[in-house]
Amino acid sequence: MITRIEIDGYKSFDDFALDLPPFTVLVGANASGKSNLLEAVDLLGQLIREPTSQTLVDHARRGGPKELFRRGPDGVPVGAMRIAAHVLVHGYAGYCHLRVEARVTYADPPDPLRVDTDVLNVHDHYGYDPDRIPPPLPDLNLGETGQLHCTEVPVQDAAYRRELAETSGNWRILEPSPKAMRVVSSTYDTAPLAEDGKNLGAVLGRIARGPEAWYDFRADAVALLPDLVDIAVAANAEWGQWDVWLQHRHEHRVPPGAASAGTLRILALLAAAHDPAHEGLLLIEEPENGLHPTRVPQLLSRLKARTSDPATLTSGDGRQIVITTHSPVALAAALEDAPDSVVFLDTVTRFGDGLPPRRLTRAREVADSGERGTFVTPLEVRKYLDPTGRYARGA
Amino acid sequence: MGRRYLSLALLTEGASDQWFLVPLIDRQIAELALETPVGFDYSGVDVGECFTVAHRDLVVCEVTDLLCYYDIVMIHHDHNERGKVDAIRDRFPDDAHRIVALVPVRETEAWMLADPAALKEAAPARDTVWEVPHDVEKAADPKAVLRTALGGRRDAERDFGRLGQAVALEALRKVPAYRAWTAELRRAMERLRFL
């Protein structure tokens, strides 16, 4: 579970920091930095496991490694970019709150980029510098569960590197594609749900092996898809693939290949959130895509219910979900159900410091009052929630 | 002290005025910001929830709200309604310095006529320079002049956004009403110590 993310020198991020609760809704206009934030987390995970220049080549999305570096007003890439996260990692001594930082130093082509990663416990990171104010720690229930926390029991950083690498392997972007989800899945597939959802059948098969987990999954699915009365999953030994059948009320059962795009997207997102073998951080791009607006609030509520409370975690990574959205319906639902989860991202133009103007991503929370310009005002929220209403018509 | 944000709100007479004025205001702020000694972050002008042609009490109510959330509130009117801005400002004696009047002579379209190059981009097949008076504030009907200058290919309002991006600030500075607005905006920013 990531409790905080810091990004500097990466794309539009400059000295950016955001504390992450178990469930976060990132709201913002196009090109406000939402996807860049998810991709930074994904890249950090890759760099933790493989801190090389080639990792940047293999996992830089939307452009090559050079495009990852924020460019100065003169067009020159910054000297180094830095992505850091505070991560709750479970290991031999209980949970440890680690700070991991990947620093990539720019080099002009054709020299390779230099990648350094540092792992430190959060307590030590802040202890070294008296000017740093530590962010609030997750409320871990140390006494009753017997968990240990490295703020109290120092854990050698190296001792948790393996666990950190495993944990970071479960930070995954999800952007399910109906086309990909219509293909059959191998029974030998043990991977978490792929970014495009192509192994949906395998994840459903995995969930179906546990009666309680399967019931919980179907209960969530039918709450969102009321006409879906049953889902059947069976291992086809002859073909080594999962046979999946969706039974809608008063209709013949159909395989995923014949199901609607919206149905498949709901099943995929819920399957990822119910997968018993893969907890971790799900980074979901625009879950409202392809969904009827009336289903969006319920989807968010069901996803949020799958996230873990760090105070009651006893083992494993726990589940954490970050979604991006443009949807007024998703914003309304989040403000109603979990107002603390809502973070607006937008870009500001920075003037001054003797430099030409430059565009940067910032994060703001919704509030009724505060220092002007630092919070999302009720006016902004109203306009977002009602783009064709009073605001658009005037009065 | 942490970095400051400049927050700006705009109330216009109509929706189409916003299409031109929002990009123009952001460009003008960027130009003024070149002089800033302290630096600030700016996320763009936000438009309010009512038009300035609404009932006075409604506009006053809206301005009250906006003054809570924004450093500067700009109120747009055509020049024959100039008195309305002053009347609203009179209702906020403590915050009058944070209310800026944006009042083009005759209509907003007059400012769209200021730069022949921008008009040429919108109507590349026409030679528009001869159709637009050199002193745009002398155009009796700026809407009609603009429509003609754009060649009537389509509804002129569709070009407002692009004109707001393209019209040269240097050309606009020759327009007295534009200079009056930027002078007032500059004073407000200086008073708030952004400049």
Secondary structure (H, E, C), A20-74: CCCEEEEECCCCCCHHHHHHHHHHHHHHHHCCCHHHHHHHCCCCCHHHHECECCC
Tell whether the model's pLDDT for residue A32 goes beyond 60: yes
Give me the interface pTM, i.e. the ipTM. Answer: 0.90
CA distance A387 to chain B (A): 11
Report pLDDT digits (tens) over B165-183.
Answer: 999 999 999 999 999 999 9
Mean pLDDT in residue range A341-355: 92
pLDDT at res. B187:
97
Contact state of B65 with A379 under an 8 Å Cβ cutoff: yes
Q: What confidence tier does A125 reach under pLDDT thresholds 50, 70, 90?
A: low
CA distance A377 to chain B (A): 7
Q: What confidence tier does A63 reach under pLDDT thresholds 50, 70, 90?
A: confident
Chain A residues whose CB is inside 8 A of the B7 CB are 372-373
Chain B residue whose CA is closest to A357? B30
Contact state of B33 with A351 under an 8 Å Cβ cutoff: yes
The sign of the dihedral angle between the CA atoms of B94, B98, B99, B104 is: positive
**A290 in the Ramachandran plot: left (φ > 0), alpha (ψ -120 to 50) or beta?**
left
Contact state of B68 with A362 under an 8 Å Cβ cutoff: no
Q: What confidence tier does B47 reach under pLDDT thresholds 50, 70, 90?
A: very high
pLDDT at res. A25:
98
Say if residues A3 and A135 touch (Cβ distance below 8 Å). Answer: yes
Strands (E), chain A: 2-8, 16-19, 23-27, 80-91, 94-105, 114-121, 171-174, 228-236, 241-248, 280-285, 319-325, 342-352, 355-364
pLDDT at res. A228:
94
Concatenate the DSSP letters of all residues of A309-347 into one string: PGGG--SS--EEEEEEE--HHHHHHHHHH-GGGEEEEEE
Q: Looking at the partner chain, which of A351, A371, A395 has a beta carbon nearest the beta carbon of B51?
A: A395
Name the more confident of B75 and A310.
B75
CB proximity under 8 Å: A 321-360 to B: 346-353, 357, 360
Q: Using alpha carbons, list the distances in angstroms from residue A210 to A64, A97, A193, A217, A277.
A: 42, 31, 17, 10, 11
Q: Looking at the partner chain, which of A351, A382, A395 has a beta carbon nearest the beta carbon of B58?
A: A395
Contact state of B15 with A392 under an 8 Å Cβ cutoff: yes
User: Hey, is the C-beta of B95 within 8 angstroms of any chain A C-beta?
Assistant: no
For the ranges A28-32, A132-136, B30-34, B61-65, the lowest mean pLDDT is seen at A132-136
Give which of A351, A368, A381, A390 to mutate to test B binding, by max B Cβ within 10 Å: A351
pLDDT at res. A145:
39
Q: What confidence tier does A267 reach under pLDDT thresholds 50, 70, 90?
A: very high
Distance in angstroms (rounded) separating the CA atoms of residues A295 and A299: 6
Q: Is B39 exposed, middle or buried (0-12, 13-18, 19+ CB in 10 A)?
A: middle
User: Hey, is the C-beta of B30 within 8 angstroms of any chain A C-beta?
Assistant: yes
pLDDT at res. A138:
54
* Token pair listed for A90: 């479970």
Tell whether the model's pLDDT for residue A311 goes beyond 60: yes
Report pLDDT digits (tens) over A193-223.
Answer: 999 999 999 999 999 999 999 999 999 999 9
- The end-to-end CA distance of chain B, in Å, is 16
Contact state of B42 with A372 under an 8 Å Cβ cutoff: no
Q: Is B154 exposed, middle or buried (0-12, 13-18, 19+ CB in 10 A)?
A: exposed
Tell whether the model's pLDDT for residue A38 goes beyond 90: yes
CA distance B47 to chain A (A): 9
Say if residues A280 and A201 touch (Cβ distance below 8 Å). Answer: no
What are the helix (H) ranges across chain B? 15-33, 56-69, 82-90, 109-112, 116-122, 142-149, 160-166, 169-172, 176-191
